[in-house]
Chains A and B, each alone.
Chain A
């Protein structure tokens, strides 16, 4: 499909999301501005759309089903458009645009839009190829949403990935890449909403947007299939609603966003609990009677969160044996799971702990975290480029200047709780994006404080810190997307890149084109089956998943090929390894071979 189809598919999804988001109108606090409502409706709509597609996809996930759901969303959007137009007309017309930060935001959005149209490439080390796009592709092929048993990560909550599937179905393989624009747009909206609510002026909100969009770590969480930006936007939306919630309906909305965060990543479970604790403590110590929250309201929020998250976790429990799959060490003894042996689970957790070790878990490392994030971000997984200078250079003054404010302590208290939880669980840089957004807001507050407090050199120094952050971030983002941009404008380069970066491309091309191929047996656990357009069976997955009881016994599998309806076998040789099958085997005919790769047809 062409790039145009990818763009149109994303536009349809965006409109449908707004349509479902319009259902939330009555839950939004009256005090919310037009911008706040816009952000809440977009994010709420994305959460609803993903959840609806997931629930319907459990029984029916054809293109027709997807179109029906999207059509319903578009109709809802059209029905609510008249009200939206009235709200727009009633809103005071004034231009709040600030040229320089708006230009910066536009440049990054343009890079994301163009780069997002590149065809996905890479090996199985890329999460995008390993599972973010593999799951959607298999779900569409099978017309039903089920975990891909040879790839445990496809059992993760996937409110974004089901939307990738819808995009793939309508706009082809390039469409999920373009979704990064929607992700960035969403987090910018909710960040601006929080910035304005914290008391920043309109230019302050624009500079907050420019600072966060040029944070390389935040940007990393938006492309390449990553769902972290949307996840963080859900957490921030929950935070935005929580601190202004007064009526039960507002707490339902808060709970829905906490639930959508849980629907996006397992880390949403931690964030949701922290949000409730934070709200409870702030209410308990509030001197203002109006801010005392009845416990009943927190129970309402928790019920809404559990209701919206339940489908994902119940599905895992019913189909795989544990609500969280692969199960964490606390759960795996109580929930015997399918397809993963205890050794495989332990190996999985050892890998997660090793990857998320960051720069240590001792108290000194915790204290030094702001410095490490600013000066040595690459020591954290996916942390290359960091978060710029502003959070460290100006953020502390922002915290200081807003210490007596009613809203700011809630923000920094949540940021603190979340950072400590992250520090002691998995120190992956992408998992803390919502905290970077809050840090940027305090950074801009710090800027305003420094300009007033140190009028001699303060304005120049703080402007230099902001300029360094943004320019360095732009350089890092441009470098990261250079190949994607090149691939979009040059088909020759795109072809060359696919040859270089897709392992065993020749065999995939053969199998995808050959009409006699019905189901492929894949013997190499680390083969990126995302590139295979045909049904396949991989007996052993990359984490040691056993999709067949006899997975370890190749002879037994080969003896049962007709029962398994296998038409072809793909056998590859990794660097320094060997083929699993001899060149001449009984009942197998070598039909294709190339460098380190062979395809056999089953007689």
Chain B
């Protein structure tokens, strides 16, 4: 795995309780959601939507929308 850079994640955390809650709870979920979204769209568009996948799926009786 990639080693962490020395100075990342050292953001100033003295921004108040609301900001702290955003940073600790909501922001990590947003980050995860973004990556998950990109992965899902990639899988649907580039993998399932590819010609190879269409050929394989059609053998099992699935016919994705052209």
Binding site for B on A (CB under 8 A): 199-201, 203-204, 207, 374-376, 386, 389, 392-394, 396-397, 401-402, 405, 444-445, 447-459, 461-465, 468, 472
Contact = CB atoms under 8 A, between A and B. Distances in A.
A411 B10 CA distance: 22
B38 to A, nearest CB: 4
Nearest to A455: B28
B42 A454 contact: no
Given A203-B1, A393-B38, A453-B31, 11 more contacts: A199-B5, A201-B5, A204-B3, A375-B41, A375-B42, A402-B8, A447-B2, A451-B2, A452-B9, A454-B28, A468-B42
A459 B38 CA distance: 15
A445 B7 CA distance: 11
The DSSP consensus for interface residues of chain A is helix
Contacts of B55: none
Given A448-B2, A453-B27, A464 B8 contact: no
Interface in B24-51: 27-29, 31-32, 34-36, 38-39, 41-42, 45-47
B4 interface: yes
Nearest to A204: B2
Contacts of A472: 46-47
A452 B4 contact: yes
Contact of B9 (A199, A200, A449, A465): A449
B8 A449 contact: yes
B5 A445 contact: yes
A445 B32 contact: no
A374 B34 CA distance: 14
A448 B32 contact: no
A464 B2 CA distance: 14
A374 B6 CA distance: 30
Contacts of A204: 2-3, 5
A265 B39 CA distance: 35
Contacts of B27: 453-454
10 contacts: A200-B5, A394-B35, A445-B5, A452-B8, A456-B28, A456-B32, A458-B31, A461-B36, A463-B1, A465-B39
A375 B45 contact: yes
Contact of B32 (A396, A444, A454): A454
